[in-house]
Amino acid sequence: MSSTTSSTNARSDYQHFLGTLTAQDRRYLTARTNWHAGLRLSSVVALQLFCVVVIVNRFYFWPAAVVALGILLVCLFHLMHECTHATAFRSRRLNHSVAGICGLLLLLPPRWFRYFHFAHHRYTQDPLRDPELAIAKPKTRIQWAYHVSGLGIWLASYKLLFNGMFNRIKDEFVPEASRSAVCREIRIMLTVYALVFVISLVSGSFLVFWLWIIPGIIGQPFLRLYLLAEHADCDTGNNMFGNTRTVLTNPFIRWFTWNMPFHTAHHVYPAVPFYRLPEMNSRIEKAIVHSSDGYVEFNQRFIDRLGRS
């Protein structure tokens, strides 16, 4: 079956599926609570604090704690993503506040990301309009290594912060009337960063490096490997079932990625909160066009298809 035919059928199936959902189904699938996210976030924070204690006290396994803290840090991206959809918590204020904290730690302006991400959902896998496709997927193994290293995303983040500082946000997906607000938010973030580093210099403490900067650098490749699986080698076009990949991974990874491995289910119905995604996935699993048995399996197959140069 050709990619075009697959895309067409997937789109048809997607529209038919949504049409079969009753009003009761929709209320059930989109119901939001505070406690589901509160429980999951509490577990993440508890592990982060454990890693902090190990690193600060230089217990003998502290280097492993730095790696673990880095992975836990980049997992905040998944929470920020959920808050961007206002589906993590029932409280809109909680969603907004938690997204702001996560964005500050990840060097990712929440308001800018909201516009970026909504454009991605509106134009998923549209080569001309999906902002995620502005950075091309790797075509060779060298490009894959560079992509996974995170260097490209760090450069893009610094460029975004620099442009925001000087009121130069020109991204088409950001409404012109909102660009000043995006720049204002970026300048607030930069002020916080400056204060943190001044305090570190004055106090002579290197904790900000061991508890934030170094873990962030170490954790970024894990996030790149995860995100690559979401849409790479999927169909082009906004067909929902065909343009997104579901990764069948273990419950441990699903817990810390807020069930986003069920990514097809998320794109089919973005209003479904993370804790309902497993059930949503079970409703559509027979129609999913692209899936992988874990992230190792996906990346092994992806690398095998790449050129050697």
Helices (H), 137-178: 141-149, 151-165
Residues of the chain with pLDDT under 50: 1-8, 10-11
pLDDT reported for residue 3:
38
Provide the number of structural domains found in the chain. Answer: 1
Residue 243's pLDDT is 94
| CB burial string 292-302: b at 16+ within 10 A, e below | beebeebbeeb
> Environment class of residue 240 by beta-carbon count within 10 Å: exposed (0-12), middle (13-18) or buried (19+)?
buried
**8 CB-near residues (< 8 Å, 6+ apart):** 239
The span from the CA of 173 to the CA of 129, in Å, is: 9
Any idea what DSSP says for residue 139?
-
**Structure tokens given for 229:** 């699986």
Q: How far apart (Å, rounded) are the C-alpha atoms in residues 74 and 215?
A: 9
Give the span between the Cα atoms of 246 and 213, in whole angstroms: 31
Helices (H), ranges, the chain: 3-20, 23-30, 35-56, 62-74, 76-84, 92-106, 110-122, 141-149, 151-165, 179-203, 207-208, 214-231, 251-256, 263-268, 277-284, 295-305
Residue type, 17: F
- Asked if 23 contacts 255 with a C-beta cutoff of 8 angstroms, the reply is no
pLDDT of residue 309: 55
Domain containing residue 193: 3-305
Given this model, what pLDDT does residue 307 score?
72
Across-strand partners of 201? none
Per-residue DSSP letter, 134: G
Token pair, residue 65, equals 């704690």
pLDDT of residue 308: 64
